Amino acid sequence: MLSKTVKKQRYALLAHPAKHSLSPQIHNYGFEVNRLNAVYFVIDTVASGAAVAEQIRRMPLAGCNLSLPLKETLLPELDEISINARLIGAINTVRNEDGRLIGENTDGTGMVADLAAHGVQLEQAQVLLLGGGATARAILTALALTPVVQVTVLQRANRPHFAQLQHLCAQLAAQTTTKLSCHDWQKIDQLEWSRFTLVINATSIGFGSHAEQAPLTAAQLQQLAPTTKVWDVIYEPRQSQLLQQADQLGLETHNGLGMLVQQAAGAFQFWTGKTLPVNEIQSFLK
């Protein structure tokens, strides 16, 4: 009796640009370690959410990760969205169950896991979060539901996401003891810098065409307590301008590589029910 050949499961990152991504290294190693008949690759695309949903079903992909703008534009095309992702208003992970597409967001929980892995006392944290896009909202949600003591968010009031950010803070306020506040970036000089124990940059300032820029000035960073830790979601370059400035002041700094691996671990578990070897992966990606 001939045994049936098990078809290789396919997973992908849908993004533009996509070729720089470390996700194939991360997930393919996870498949190998867990002895899963699966492969992960990148699809460079600028297609609409509807076109991408059709592509996921047609190929088919067993699961996928997404970058902006698909984190938001694919939402209306999904059959099911987790409560967490619906609250954030964005997804970064999709599971395909026989054509039924289910969306989740592991960005925020990935950041919280990385913070905990580096010994951050989350229950005592007072956080300054920079940005109001999909990644920032995911981090805000995860921190609030951890919970931490306080999260102060800075976003420009003239940006489309500012009202969405304010609405999210109002929704979270009913579910957490974390003190939440959202401020226009123009009020940055009114902040009480010395009280923050943690600063997280969730903007794109420091990446790509903005690689030579930093969201905060050295003068602003100097007002932080010497024990304040500075995180950047950016991992390429490894040391953004923000982290370079903070490091020069003697502050503890971390790039987004840990968050990348931790959010990938959440996605991997969501797809396969298996565990990604986080520590091993982080050691060979550095």
Note whether 124 and 77 are same-domain residues: no
Note whether 30 and 121 are same-domain residues: no
Can you read off the two tokens belonging to residue 170? 């109002």
Tell me the residue range of the domain where 127 lies.
108-258
Residue of 7, 71, 179, 187 marked catalytic: 71
pLDDT in tens, 44-98: 999 999 999 999 999 999 999 999 899 999 999 999 999 999 999 999 999 999 9
Give the mean model confidence (pLDDT) for residues 4-33. 92
Among candidates 168, 189, 190, which has minimal Cα distance to 178? 168
Q: Is residue 270 part of a domain?
A: no
Which pTM does this prediction carry?
Answer: 0.96
> Does the annotation mark 187 as catalytic?
no
pLDDT in tens, 141-199: 999 999 999 999 999 999 888 999 999 999 999 999 999 999 999 999 999 999 999 99
What is the tally of structural domains in the chain? 2
DSSP-based three-state secondary structure for 230: strand
Can you read off the two tokens belonging to residue 2? 């001939």
State the pLDDT confidence band at 2, using cuts at 50, 70 and 90. very low
Note whether 122 and 200 are same-domain residues: yes
| Residue 88 belongs to domain with CATH number | 3.40.50.10860
DSSP-based three-state secondary structure for 231: strand
- List the beta bridge partners of residue 64: 12, 94
Q: Which pLDDT belongs to residue 208?
A: 87
Kindly tell me if the per-residue pLDDT of 202 is higher than 50: yes
Angle between helices 257-272 and 107-117 (to 10 degrees): 120
**Residue 66 in contact with residue 16, Cβ under 8 Å?**
no
Give the mean model confidence (pLDDT) for residues 227-254. 97
Q: Using CA atoms, how far apart are residues 63 and 51, in angstroms rounded to an integer? A: 16
Q: Using CA atoms, how far apart are residues 253 and 232, in angstroms rounded to an integer? A: 8
